């Protein structure tokens, strides 16, 4: 069963039940009030008959000049008085019973039965009871009350025709039922329209969800109003945006992975081709001049070193996230000076100078990995610098953090390339980078090392003027207060 059907049928059932219950209560209240008024009228009429009966017996006794009538005379007089009482459309019959239940006078319609009995706690009370009888469909209100005539204890009863009132009440009940049915039908129509209008946004949400499931991640739902359905529509749009962003991210990851694998195959193929080619030149000819042999061996050695460097960096990049790092506080100045010493020969060959000026603040690090970070950044600057230039490795402590700057005055990087240079195998100038022995893994590796140390890395570059890499790391305050900072 559809949601709109459940809501419609449930609400309709509640509406019909509540309408029927209210109508029944109102009808019952109206019927009870009418019957109470009718009983009061009958009791008043009954009391009038009893008073008239007593007055007639007393008048007859006075006419005879007696102190008290005998029982037989009382019975006869009572019957005569009642026979003179005219009946009308309302008073349909009278009955007078003596103490033994014998009828002294009886004009009751046929089929009404005996008089209603008074309750034991109120034996002298007037009682009324509704009964069918006489003509078909006719109803009578029977009233009975005790009456004492001289010394004779009697029970006076009267039958009042209330068929018109009963038919009026039946018609009223029928009209109420018809009104309930009509209002239910009209209410059902209005409810159906209201449910359709209110739940129409759910249809739009459902269609949008199906289109998103089919791959239309750009699908959005128009949000109207501020109710729960509008909130659901906004949540649907947020979910669709999140799915779209995630899909685009996965597509970029897949594309980057595809590019990574292609670049890796290309980078591995180039040195291997050179190694195999020059090895064949040494192997196939019977005689190879010494000069050629040395040249071939040099090329094989350089390409092997390049392949070794490539595989080492690639392995380090892949395993960095899962490696067990040995993190401990270390002096930034000492680590920077150790890197400067190891780079000394290379800087001298490139005719470059390196200026190191870092504070001795303690930084929590994996020492060898951190040295690899600084080495890679300085080596990148060396490859981009012109001979006779200068590289700078400086640091500054501020607000419990240390900021490290690696600066060169080399060729610089175009602004449109800055967002891509940390991607594996990405190289701004591929021919120059390969000639310098690079594979495009250095900055990608540096970014990973910075991340595992809880730091940040920002790169600024001006084409033709040089590049500055800014690293920020937290200072180990506990070690610093304990005297861990160098003088």
Taking all residues of the chain, what is their mean pLDDT, rounded to a whole number?
A: 80
Which of the four pLDDT bands, split at 50, 70 and 90, describes residue 286? low
Q: How many CB atoms lie within 10 A of CB 258?
A: 10
Tell whether the model's pLDDT for residue 473 goes beyond 90.
Answer: yes
| Domain annotation covers residue 160 | yes
Do 479 and 458 form a contact (C-beta atoms < 8 A)?
no
Specify if 299 maps to a domain.
Answer: no
- Dist. CA 411–CA 424, nearest whole Å: 21
Domain membership of residue 183 (yes or no) is no
Whether 426 maps to a domain, the answer reads: yes
Write down the pLDDT at residue 8.
Answer: 76
Question: Which CA distances in Å does 146 have to 93, 115, 180, 183, 340?
Answer: 17, 11, 45, 50, 131
Residue 359 has pLDDT above 50, yes or no: yes
- Per-residue pLDDT, 436: 43
* Phi, psi (degrees; rounded to nearest 5) at 437: 90, 15
- Domain end, chosen from 171, 193, 228, is at 171
Average pLDDT in the 246-260 region?
Answer: 76
**Is residue 286 situated within a structural domain?**
no
* Domain annotation covers residue 55: yes
pLDDT (average), residues 412-422: 73
**236 in any annotated domain:** no
Burial of 452 per CB tally in 10 Å (0-12, 13-18, 19+) = middle
The CATH code of the domain that includes 372 is 3.30.565.10
Given 120, 150, 171, the domain boundary residue is 171
Confidence of residue 269 (pLDDT cuts 50, 70, 90): low
Q: What is the pLDDT of residues 193-244, one digit of tens each?
A: 887 777 777 777 777 878 877 777 777 777 777 777 777 778 878 888 888 8
Distance between CA atoms of residues 227 and 233, nearest Å: 10
Q: What percent of the chain is modeled with pLDDT above 70?
A: 83
Residue 285 binned pLDDT confidence (cut-offs 50, 70, 90): low
Q: Could you report the per-residue pLDDT of 75-98, keeping only the tens digit for each? A: 888 888 888 876 777 888 899 988
Structure tokens at 22: 């209210």
Domain containing 80: what range?
Answer: 3-171
**Pair type for strands 390-398 and 353-357:** parallel
Question: Is 305 part of any domain?
Answer: no
Beta pairing, strands 152-161 & 328-331 = unpaired
Least confident segment among 7-16, 35-44, 424-433: 424-433
Q: Which of 145, 171, 197 is the last residue of a domain?
A: 171
Please give the pLDDT value at position 406.
93
pLDDT attached to residue 432: 43
**pLDDT, tens digit (0-9, with 9 covering 90-100), for 182-198:** 888 888 888 888 877 77
Structure pTM?
A: 0.42
The highest-confidence range among 24-28, 203-207, 220-224, 333-337, by mean pLDDT, is 333-337
Between CA 348 and CA 336 the distance in angstroms is 18
Count of domains observed in the chain: 2
Average pLDDT over residues 381-409: 90
Q: In this structure, what CATH number is given to the domain that contains residue 42? A: 3.30.450.20
Backbone φ, ψ for residue 412 (5° rounding) = 85, 170
**Which residues does 68 contact at the CB level (< 8 Å), separation at least 6?**
61, 150, 151
**8 A C-beta contact, residue 426 and residue 441:** no
Residue 484 has pLDDT above 60, yes or no: no
């Amino acid at each position: 069963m559809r949601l709109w059907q459940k809501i419609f049928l449930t609400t309709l059932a509640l509406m019909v039940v509540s309408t029927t219950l209210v109508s029944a209560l109102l009808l019952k209240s109206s019927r009870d009030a009418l019957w109470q008024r009718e009983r009061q009228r009958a009791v008043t009429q009954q009391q009038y008959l009893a008073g008239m009966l007593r007055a007639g017996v007393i008048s007859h006794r006075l006419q005879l000049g007696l102190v008290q009538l005998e029982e037989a005379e009382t019975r006869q007089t009572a019957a005569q008085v009642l026979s003179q009482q005219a009946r009308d459309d309302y008073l349909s019959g009278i009955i007078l019973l003596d103490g033994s239940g014998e009828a002294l006078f009886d004009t009751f319609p046929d089929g009404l039965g005996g008089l209603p009995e008074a309750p034991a706690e109120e034996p002298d009370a007037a009682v009324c009871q509704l009964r069918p009888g006489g003509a078909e469909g006719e109803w009578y209100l029977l009233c009975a009350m005790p009456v004492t005539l001289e010394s004779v204890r009697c029970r006076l009863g009267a039958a009042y025709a209330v068929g018109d009132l009963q038919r009026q009440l039946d018609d009223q009940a029928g009209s109420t039922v018809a009104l309930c049915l009509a209002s239910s039908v009209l209410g059902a129509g209005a409810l159906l329209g209201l449910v359709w209008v209110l739940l129409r946004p759910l249809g739009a949400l459902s269609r949008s969800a199906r289109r998103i499931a089919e791959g239309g991640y750009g699908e959005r739902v128009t949000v109207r109003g501020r109710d729960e359905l509008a909130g659901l529509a906004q949540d649907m749009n947020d979910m669709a945006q999140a799915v779209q962003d995630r899909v685009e991210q996965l597509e970029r990851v897949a594309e980057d992975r595809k590019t990574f694998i292609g670049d890796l195959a290309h980078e591995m193929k180039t040195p291997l081709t050179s190694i195999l080619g020059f090895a064949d030149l040494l192997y196939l000819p019977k005689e190879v001049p010494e000069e050629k042999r040395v040249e071939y061996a040099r090329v094989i050695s350089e390409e092997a070193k390049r392949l070794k460097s490539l595989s080492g960096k690639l392995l380090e990049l892949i395993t960095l996230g899962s490696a067990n790092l040995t993190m401990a506080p270390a002096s930034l100045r000492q680590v920077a000076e150790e890197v400067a010493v190891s780079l000394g020969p290379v800087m001298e060959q490139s005719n470059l100078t390196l200026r190191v000026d870092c504070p001795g603040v303690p930084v929590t690090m994996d020492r060898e990995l951190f040295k690899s970070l600084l080495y890679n950044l300085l080596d990148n600057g060396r490859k981009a610098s012109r001979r006779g230039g200068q590289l700078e490795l400086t640091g500054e402590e501020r607000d419990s953090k240390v900021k490290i700057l690696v600066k060169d005055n080399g060729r610089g990087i175009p602004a449109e390339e800055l967002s891509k240079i940390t991607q594996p195998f990405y190289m701004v100038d591929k021919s120059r980078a390969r000639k310098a022995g690079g594979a495009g893994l250095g900055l990608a590796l540096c970014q990973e090392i910075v991340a595992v140390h809880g730091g940040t890395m920002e790169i600024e570059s001006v084409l033709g003027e040089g590049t500055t890499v800014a690293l920020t790391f937290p200072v180990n305050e506990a070690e610093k207060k304990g005297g861990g900072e160098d003088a």
